[in-house]
Amino acid sequence: MDKHVYNRLRDIIRDRVGIDISYYSTSFIARRIEFRMNICNIRDYTDYLRLLEYTDEIKEFVANLSINVTEFFRDPDVFDRFKELLKGYSNARIWSVGCASGEEPYTIAIIAKDNGVRCSILASDISKNAIEYAKKGLYQSKSVRNVPKDILARYFTLTGDGYAVRSDVKDMVTFEVRDVTRCINTGPFDFIFCRNMLIYMNDVSKSTIINNICNAMKPNSYLILGKSEYIHNCSMLSCIDTKTKIYIKKI
């Protein structure tokens, strides 16, 4: 994908749906466009750009900007550490950034409920399709494979198509379509989960996202990243657990 194709793609996405893909790394965008071109059986970039400009294919492309590799209790040691930190709270406000199909915020809600902590959870993603899917709270068996059996029995209902999250857990989570690269007026939060999203962003975008997140955090609140992610040169954050990539806001 040459620079002309990228610039034209960026302009089409911005003009039609108001999303700036320049926040993402070019390699990530290239993989997404090639994935959609294969599905559409299109080999020429110009033909695919025309499809984006004049059809609903743009909705599918934007939906694929959401990172959807997720499941309940993904990286159990991270949630074990979160549970330890949560013990200091009777009430907590939590934000799940890039929540995709909803497994992460529902996992957070289950842990809070199971430990007697009242909390409100904001779950956001750039993809409207992902958010609509998450709101339903219906999942296949593969999504709950890491859920302990006792938790599965207490907080899920077995259905003909898989497992449904119980309504009292769903009520703890508010889902929104939101772009974290833009200035946000929300919070303050006690915990923010932003896992496995920064690795797809360019360096400038990472800085913007971290700054926006820090502005939404309370003093002494926690930011939880993906295990392969890290933060450099941010005076407001200090890492308290290098294995699970948990940071605390110092000021």
198: domain CATH number is 3.40.50.150
Phi then psi for residue 242, to 5 deg, are: -70, -25
- Residues 39, 88, single domain; the answer is no
Domain assignment present for 71: no
pTM attached to this predicted model: 0.81
The tally of domains found in the chain comes to: 2
- Residues 122, 241, single domain; the answer is yes
Sort 221 into a burial class: Cβ within 10 Å, 0-12 / 13-18 / 19+: buried
- Residues 52, 119, single domain; the answer is no
> Could you say which DSSP state residue 239 is in?
E
Q: How far apart are CA 169 and CA 149, in angstroms?
A: 17
Domain containing 119 equals 76-249
Among residues 145, 167, 129, the alpha carbon closest in space to that of 76 is found at: 145
- Residues 160, 210, single domain; the answer is yes
Among residues 3, 39, 42, 45, the alpha carbon closest in space to that of 22 is found at: 3
Tokens of 217: 């955090």
Domain assignment present for 149: yes
Q: What is the pLDDT along the chain (251 residues), one digit of tens a residue?
A: 788 899 999 999 889 887 788 878 888 899 889 999 999 999 999 999 999 999 999 988 887 776 666 789 999 999 999 999 999 899 999 999 999 899 999 999 999 999 999 999 999 998 888 899 999 999 999 999 989 999 999 999 999 889 999 999 999 999 999 888 876 677 799 999 999 888 888 888 888 899 999 999 999 999 999 988 888 778 899 999 999 999 999 87
Beta strand 162-165 pairing with 156-159: antiparallel
